[in-house]
Structure 1
Amino acid sequence: MNFLRNKITFLVVLVCCAIHVLAQQSNSKNQLRAPAFPLITIDPNTSAWSYSDNLYDDAVRHWTDKPFPLLGVVKVDGIVYRFLGKEEIELEAIAKMGEHEIWSAKYTVNEPSKDWTQINFTDSDWKTGAAPYGTLDNEPNSRTDWQEPKIWVRREVILNEDLGGKNVYLEFTHDDDAIMYVNGIEVANTGQATGKNRRVKLSEEVVKTLKKGKNILAGYCYNRVANGYFDFGMYTERKNTISFTQTALQKSVDVQATQTHYQFECGPVDLNISFIAPLLLTDLELVSRPVNYLAYEVTSRDGKKHDVQLYLEASSHWALNSPLQESTSSTYKSGNLQYVKTGSKSQEVLAKKGDHIRIDWGYFYMAADANKSKSATGKGTTLREQFLKGQTLQSTANGNQLVLTQNFTVSTKHSDKIMLGYDDIYSIQYFGKNLRPYWNRQDNSTIEKQFQLADKDFAKLKQACDKFDAELWNTAIRVGGYEYAALIALSYRQSIAAHKLVQAPNGDLLWLSKENDSNGSIGTVDVTYPSAPLYLYYNPELAKGLLNHIFYYSASKKWTKPFAAHDIGTYPIGNGQTYGGDMPVEESGNMLILTYAIARMEKNADYAKKHWEVLTTWTDYLVEHGLDPDNQLCTDDFAGHFAHNANLSVKAIVAIGSYGYLAEMLGKTDVSKKYIAIAKDMAAKWKSMAADGDHYRLTFDKEGTWSQKYNLVWDKLLDMNIFDKSIFKTEIDYYLTKQNQYGLPLDNRRTYTKTDWIMWTATLADDMVTFQKFINPVYKFMYETTDRVPMSDWVYTDKPTRAGFKARSVVGGYFIKMLEEKINNQK
């Protein structure tokens, strides 16, 4: 009987486990309609996204919004179905942007009369200057130095014909707020936001005003904080032929940490596509390998035999900063792989730097099994016509398209892959020395070797990615719920792809961020700080790689100030800080807190010991200046300079405590007692200084203000016990009364927020229900936002639009809740 009872019990347990596993599998799909879906994510230069719900509704785009043309088509029994990308309607310039052609206009930095946008307005007393207008120190494309807060520009456009009945577009780049007019009619008003190459289709009413002769494009831009930039132009559609009009039927899309999966119906067959970036952070060689996969599986739904041809077309734009640059393309075979390759003719390595600059040195590649694939380069319309007619593809002398095709028959299933990659030759200039990518740091590899490894490793890497994605998803569900897991999955590749891995001449690992869409800085400390939880969680060596360049900068005496630098340059040139202002308390605090976090993850303070002299200098600065910070910027620099910042004070105090606990780990008992006591004393003063009834203030000197105190999270995570724990509950309870539809505002001044800081603030809560009250509105924003770009971290809480920023590494900060669990499990 006992045997039978035990057997029945075992079977019941087995069935329950099976049900649990099936339930997990059924719930593991990410239902989030992402603002943009990650496709190819290698580094800041090679970063391609789908900005539409269906993969075929729009062109594939770089994170800067510029087209990265990638077309995918299958022909099934002679019928063509487009499943990837869109053939863009070509535009002809009426008045080119300044980034492509110099233009001059009248401008003023003093507010003009209300009729300044009209054609007949007299602007003879205005200045004349060439576009783009911007701060020359930080915006290398600028031609006219603009340092004042506001600028008004009138650009005269002479037309040879009326444009009535045509499709006309205004394109403009603005940092920050902009209002645009055509012949006195307002056509765009961005509100408080930045944007690059925004394109607005002009209404029929506006187009009717575009008459032969003189016309006026007028623009106003307000630069709220540093780095101003303004440029605009006008374009009309060029008539051309679209080859692939019929689309597949998309059935689903699912974003996981390392993969984006699509399912399509193409007539009698099903097509499953997976974009795979095997970014497993414990393997630095793999993180650095510049190759992603487009894997596919075709299944016959009716069990009958079908002839299938797959066509994948890319453009030389993948290797150019501007589509107007000249390029060279070729096809060749190496080993068992067939390649198509493209790059600029000029090959000016590391010659450009800036925020929305795209790479124009090195080479872009597609590769596939040579025995199964054909390749060609040339004019897109010709290659598409050859494919449609069933002809063998023949390369043409002109054109900038690259094509790989594969032909096969399927009666059950057929699967294969195409690989896409980039060889940037040299990745970073680091204090005067050009550094190769980490995968070729010894100058003993080639891009072909990397593709061969990617080809050989595919099966095991696909399995590893499936396992990793499932484990991450299940962990995120457990610690934060479904909405949290969905956001975590989407954030993973975005954060990683905003970095480049290289090795410094002294052997240091450098995991260098590009400050995407905020100013283009390289290795920014207050971008490192929010992104660090992802890297602390998976690989503390990468967390060190986020800090090493700043320690070197100070220790080498290249940076001589008694606080940490903001950055080491403008990507990809890291020869010294280029940001216009210092953030002394912010950056010093960030470095100290993260150094202690690394020590906690590694369970030793060896890394801190290596940099003890610099850490001591920064700590003593914070002791003197951190309790009540004077007028300065913090990481939320878009909010401007202000003094007596209570949240910045928290950071300084926690940083001083971090130094004290590091000293304790190193056996420096007297030092430890001294600085921990200082931190606790400052925290007690802070509580009194910031108290404002049922919450704590934004600034010590202003009653009735409030702000998120997200910096407190490290006191909780690292068990520092610096601040009175009652502060956490008081703040959380108060925040719940201040939430809007799409999240918790950053503070009382405006309705915008930072989504990474919401994650940190939510982690101050002691239960999942409260945590989710803060997270779910962020999920709602990402699902409903009308801004189709890689996730923004600076968004409005009362409307589904971003205030600025996209594709930034800081979404790595979403992992703070998972990091909390990992730290707790290490105790």
Structure 2
Amino acid sequence: MKLKYVAIAVLLCQSLFSSAQHTPVKNNLRAPAFPLVTIDPNTSAWSYSDELYGDVVRHWTGKTFPLLGVIKVDGKAYRFLGKEEIELEPIARMGEDDHWKAPYTEKEPSAGWNTLAFDDANWQTGIAPFGTKDKESHAKTDWQEPKIWVRRIINLEKDLAGQSVYIEFTHDDDAILYVNGIEVVNTGNRTGKNNRVKLSDEVVKTLRKGKNIIGGYCHNRVANGFFDFGLFLEREGSNHFDQEAKQESVDVQATQTHYVFDCGPVKVKVSFTAPMFLDNLDLLTRPVNYLSYQVESKDGKKHQIEFYLEASPNWALNSPLQESESSEFKNGSLQYVKTGSKNQQILGNKGDDLRIDWGYFYMAGDQKNTKAMIGDSHDLRNQFLKSNHVFQSSVSGKQLALRQSFSVTSKYSDKILLGYDDLYAIQYFNENLRPYWNRDGQSTIEKQFDLANKEYSKLIKASDQFDAQLMQSAIKAGGKEYAALCALAYRQAIAAHKLVKAPNGDLLLLSKENDSNGSIGTVDITYPSAPLFLYYNPELAKGLMNFIFYYSESNKWTKPFAAHDVGTYPIANGQTYGGDMPVEESGNMLILTYAIAKAEGNAAYAKKHWKVLSTWVDYLVEKGLDPENQLCTDDFAGHFAHNANLSIKAILGIASYGYLAEMMGDQQTADKYLNQAKSMAKKWKTMAQDGDHYKFTFDQSGTWSQKYNMVWDKILKMKIFDEDIRTTEIKYYLTKQNIYGLPLDNRQQYTKTDWISWTATMADDKETFEKFISPVYRFMNETVDRVPMSDWIYTDKPKRSGFKARSVVGGYFIKMLAEKMEKVK
């Protein structure tokens, strides 16, 4: 009878849900970048411009993932997606492609060092790229000092006046570049990879036949320095699709991005959909997204329509210079085009600024109405413009395209499926693992496409429902601006992970530390990301932690605190990060283990890992109250001791262990550690007190910092710290806010947006919460940096300090999690 009542309740909930408003509240946020195709860290494509046709589609790293969409209406072509990419010829290649030599110095030179006349005879000679060289670095010259100056001489065979010339550069951190003594780049305090700047006519006029010079300066402020630059010339060539559709709107929802265009006599709606539902792991990991469209006649007349979608082999290559192979074929009801690298080195590359170059990228459409084309981009585009239905395809061609033709009097809808088969996804302690969707090796990419095609209508409806529900829940919890941020964060956070199944059967949800160092399974990336997964599926929160427990329990990691990571993506064979974060990572693991127990209503997961949790908690008891000089998750700010916020994490980690013991029925152990945590919290209050607020470090009066770790005391109802600490801090923070948010601490004007959402959640009312969130919304809406959401931004100007596309924006969901946990006993 119990099962029967459960089934009735489920049906009732489904009925109520389906009868709810399925149209989400429109997201009015002008995103820094708009998610288009989001599968995993490798297959992650974004629009970096306000209009979908305003720029080339890009991978999250910023490298081009060309995807060109054109709709022809009664013979007139309108480009609605992507841009015909500028083709560049190298004048002086980047070091990643050509290890160029140049004089350099790490001691500040005299004036004129960036001109041809300067005498650099006493400088050293190095090979690019320059960087802090270690086993994970691609640097060829080891650069350990804070600053470096490089002189690169370039011999030109002719004058370049009147031509379009670009300088490309990668820098960590500050960079200034000069061409023939003229400053052309000055980044300020930030990092960047493969940035490209067009040189002014004034500068180009100086590029004459014979010797020229690029002078480069870089300042590495903390760690992992890197410097590389090159010069490129735009190839002459004509565009085929100059006529742009007129974009009327864009709307980013959790699982979909919707666009509406005016194309003369028809209106075109285009949606990119990734049905990433966290409670359905097979669907979550299905490596297929949808590009669906609807064409509507505005005048009721019949119009002849041709739809064209073209992609580049870049989708399956790390560098466009790699050789690729493409093909077209039919399978089941679908027509496919496929591309991949000629040299398939499975799991052959690891690192941060890399794209996958093994496995295959696919596009597919219904056989009945889809034609496949492979060849040179100019030939393909000309054939489409001429309505040539006799396609001359070549497997050696650089581009692949699908074309659909139909007529419309009222409305017509269709779709194209895009997907990626990475064959093997992760190497886990020397064993190659398949992606979760093919964990037993019994599926194929064609089966996944076939399922996606058959379930299309159902999944679009489910995506609409999910998007509407998320917006409604987020608005209720934190307001419309908060909901907008959560909707934009959803796919970004999920697609920065890869789900696989461990040999022992554990779920492994492995993050890639995007745009910071490329680590895999970083614990202090897991910690801020976790609220999203705790909210929707605690099993996935366990998947963020299982590999760290295994690392210690297998004795592969023998230190008495939790590891920082398990490798460099996608190779998870053990920690590769150069420094430990003992208090940080141990506290993270303990707090999240208790959060899982609260979400599930039992401590079974903690019991499974009790021995190693006991080791970590004793480390925190010994070292956590007044942490030594060590890194925390905000490692970009450097080492520092006596960190009051880190101390909070240690204390709440100890309390978490005590509450877990209580849930397991061991009251003696519970009392011991809970009393320890409460005693430490009282000492913390005395040590950190600084008048109307609490210190950044215990030894420095007149300092302050966000105490975002204290949010768990509220969410998990621990009652370890006096409540007046939170209220005092919140009141003080409101006096320190800038136009784009609350700084991380008193040292710099930069902040972390995920931590702001945690700090805001410490407030006791929605109105105060929104006061902290509104500046973050404003930053995302106004930032000049067009990249997938950055979490490390300046609060006094609309620029990011660093980082993009990271999973930590899953931390925005902490306010929703707090609302949900409020109902848990």
TM-score by length of 2: 0.97
CA distance in 2, matches of 1:148, 1:606: 50
Selected match of 2:78 from 69, 76, 81: 81
Q: What residue in structure 1 maps to residue 198 of structure 2?
A: 201
Q: In the TM superposition, what are the counterparts of 1:280-319 in structure 2 within 5 Å? A: 280-319=277-316
CA distance in 1, matches of 2:607, 2:105: 55
Q: Kindly indicate whether residue 709 of structure 2 is the aligned counterpart of residue 722 of structure 1.
A: no
Selected match of 2:808 from 796, 807, 810: 810
Alpha-carbon shift at residue 398 of structure 1 (Å)? 4.2
Determine if contact 1:36/1:49 at 8 Å carries over to the other structure.
yes
Determine if contact 2:533/2:541 at 8 Å carries over to the other structure.
yes
Partner of 1:579, secondary structure, is coil
Q: In the TM superposition, what are the counterparts of 1:471-620 in structure 2 within 5 Å? A: 471-620=469-618
Q: Which amino acid aligns with 1:387?
A: F
Q: What residue in structure 2 maps to residue 178 of structure 1?
A: 175
Alpha-carbon shift at residue 399 of structure 1 (Å)? 2.5
Determine if contact 2:44/2:60 at 8 Å carries over to the other structure.
yes
Q: What residue in structure 1 maps to residue 63 of structure 2?
A: 66
Determine if contact 2:327/2:395 at 8 Å carries over to the other structure.
no
Determine if contact 1:262/1:273 at 8 Å carries over to the other structure.
yes
Partner of 1:648, secondary structure, is helix
CA distance in 1, matches of 2:672, 2:252: 49
CA distance in 2, matches of 1:394, 1:817: 56
- Point out where structure 1 has 5 or more consecutive residues left out of the alignment: 1-16
Alpha-carbon shift at residue 110 of structure 1 (Å)? 2.0
Alpha-carbon shift at residue 138 of structure 1 (Å)? 5.2
CA distance in 2, matches of 1:301, 1:215: 57
Partner of 1:265, secondary structure, is strand
Distance 1:194 1:652, change over 3 A: same
Q: In the TM superposition, what are the counterparts of 1:317-336 in structure 2 within 5 Å? A: 317-336=314-333
Determine if contact 1:73/1:83 at 8 Å carries over to the other structure.
yes
Determine if contact 2:39/2:274 at 8 Å carries over to the other structure.
yes
Determine if contact 1:138/1:227 at 8 Å carries over to the other structure.
no
Q: What residue in structure 1 maps to residue 90 of structure 2?
A: 93
Q: What residue in structure 2 maps to residue 428 of structure 1?
A: 426
CA distance in 1, matches of 2:366, 2:135: 45
Q: What residue in structure 1 maps to residue 127 of structure 2?
A: 130
Determine if contact 2:324/2:396 at 8 Å carries over to the other structure.
no
Alpha-carbon shift at residue 730 of structure 1 (Å)? 0.3
CA distance in 2, matches of 1:673, 1:604: 18
Distance 1:391 1:735, change over 3 A: same
Alpha-carbon shift at residue 230 of structure 1 (Å)? 1.0
CA distance in 2, matches of 1:513, 1:187: 36
CA distance in 2, matches of 1:420, 1:826: 41
Deviating more after overlay: 104-113 vs 364-373: 104-113
Q: What residue in structure 2 maps to residue 384 of structure 1?
A: 381
Q: What residue in structure 1 maps to residue 401 of structure 2?
A: 403
CA distance in 2, matches of 1:513, 1:95: 35
Alpha-carbon shift at residue 134 of structure 1 (Å)? 1.7
CA distance in 1, matches of 2:544, 2:517: 18
Partner of 2:328, secondary structure, is strand
Alpha-carbon shift at residue 444 of structure 1 (Å)? 0.6
Alpha-carbon shift at residue 506 of structure 1 (Å)? 1.0
Q: Kindly indicate whether residue 783 of structure 2 is the aligned counterpart of residue 780 of structure 1.
A: no
Deviating more after overlay: 233-242 vs 792-801: 233-242
Q: What residue in structure 1 maps to residue 768 of structure 2?
A: 770
Q: Which amino acid aligns with 2:93?
A: K
After superposition, give the CA deviation of every residue in 1:605-644 in whole Å (9 maximum; x if it has no partner): 1000011010010100010000000111110011000000
Deviating beyond 6 angstroms after TM superposition, the runs of 4 or more aligned structure 1 residues are: none
CA distance in 2, matches of 1:799, 1:363: 41
Alpha-carbon shift at residue 139 of structure 1 (Å)? 4.2
Determine if contact 2:170/2:193 at 8 Å carries over to the other structure.
yes
After superposition, give the CA deviation of every residue in 1:294-328 in whole Å (9 maximum; x if it has no partner): 01111111111111010000000000000000000
Q: In the TM superposition, what are the counterparts of 1:149-164 in structure 2 within 5 Å? A: 149-164=146-161
Q: What residue in structure 1 maps to residue 756 of structure 2?
A: 758
Q: Which amino acid aligns with 2:336?
A: Y
Determine if contact 1:70/1:312 at 8 Å carries over to the other structure.
yes
Q: Kindly indicate whether residue 456 of structure 2 is the aligned counterpart of residue 446 of structure 1.
A: no
Alpha-carbon shift at residue 99 of structure 1 (Å)? 1.0
Q: What residue in structure 2 maps to residue 148 of structure 1?
A: 145
Determine if contact 1:650/1:712 at 8 Å carries over to the other structure.
yes
Q: What residue in structure 2 maps to residue 267 of structure 1?
A: 264
Q: What residue in structure 1 maps to residue 649 of structure 2?
A: 651
CA distance in 2, matches of 1:531, 1:397: 42
Partner of 2:823, secondary structure, is helix
Alpha-carbon shift at residue 767 of structure 1 (Å)? 0.5
After superposition, give the CA deviation of every residue in 1:695-740 in whole Å (9 maximum; x if it has no partner): 0000000010000000000000000000000000000000000000
Alpha-carbon shift at residue 394 of structure 1 (Å)? 2.3
Q: What residue in structure 1 maps to residue 11 of structure 2?
A: none
Q: What residue in structure 1 maps to residue 735 of structure 2?
A: 737
Q: What residue in structure 2 maps to residue 257 of structure 1?
A: 254
Q: What residue in structure 1 maps to residue 8 of structure 2?
A: none
CA distance in 2, matches of 1:186, 1:537: 49
Q: Which amino acid aligns with 1:312?
A: L
CA distance in 2, matches of 1:216, 1:39: 40
CA distance in 2, matches of 1:226, 1:519: 10
CA distance in 2, matches of 1:503, 1:631: 37
Q: Which amino acid aligns with 1:299?
A: E
Selected match of 2:787 from 786, 789, 814: 789
Distance 1:347 1:374, change over 3 A: same
Q: Which amino acid aligns with 1:70?
A: L
CA distance in 2, matches of 1:661, 1:225: 38
Q: Kindly indicate whether residue 40 of structure 2 is the aligned counterpart of residue 43 of structure 1.
A: yes
Alpha-carbon shift at residue 826 of structure 1 (Å)? 2.4
Alpha-carbon shift at residue 160 of structure 1 (Å)? 1.1
Q: In the TM superposition, what are the counterparts of 1:678-717 in structure 2 within 5 Å? A: 678-717=676-715
Determine if contact 2:325/2:395 at 8 Å carries over to the other structure.
no
Determine if contact 1:226/1:580 at 8 Å carries over to the other structure.
no
Determine if contact 1:256/1:490 at 8 Å carries over to the other structure.
yes
Q: What residue in structure 2 maps to residue 10 of structure 1?
A: none
Deviating more after overlay: 278-287 vs 392-401: 392-401
CA distance in 2, matches of 1:567, 1:114: 44
CA distance in 2, matches of 1:89, 1:198: 14
- Point out where structure 2 has 5 or more consecutive residues left out of the alignment: 1-15
CA distance in 2, matches of 1:655, 1:119: 59
CA distance in 1, matches of 2:161, 2:512: 43
Q: What residue in structure 1 maps to residue 50 of structure 2?
A: 53
Partner of 2:466, secondary structure, is helix
Determine if contact 2:326/2:395 at 8 Å carries over to the other structure.
no
Deviating more after overlay: 388-397 vs 190-199: 388-397
Determine if contact 2:326/2:397 at 8 Å carries over to the other structure.
no
CA distance in 2, matches of 1:396, 1:677: 73
CA distance in 2, matches of 1:635, 1:89: 39
Q: Which amino acid aligns with 2:168?
A: E
Alpha-carbon shift at residue 165 of structure 1 (Å)? 1.5
Determine if contact 1:134/1:230 at 8 Å carries over to the other structure.
yes
Q: In the TM superposition, what are the counterparts of 1:618-637 in structure 2 within 5 Å? A: 618-637=616-635
CA distance in 2, matches of 1:485, 1:607: 31
Q: What residue in structure 2 maps to residue 340 of structure 1?
A: 337
CA distance in 1, matches of 2:546, 2:141: 36
Determine if contact 1:341/1:364 at 8 Å carries over to the other structure.
yes
Determine if contact 1:140/1:353 at 8 Å carries over to the other structure.
no
CA distance in 2, matches of 1:498, 1:513: 6
Determine if contact 1:177/1:190 at 8 Å carries over to the other structure.
yes
Deviating more after overlay: 674-683 vs 128-137: 128-137
Q: What residue in structure 1 maps to residue 12 of structure 2?
A: none
Partner of 1:444, secondary structure, is coil
Determine if contact 2:594/2:660 at 8 Å carries over to the other structure.
yes
Q: Kindly indicate whether residue 640 of structure 2 is the aligned counterpart of residue 642 of structure 1.
A: yes
CA distance in 2, matches of 1:397, 1:707: 58
Determine if contact 1:139/1:227 at 8 Å carries over to the other structure.
no
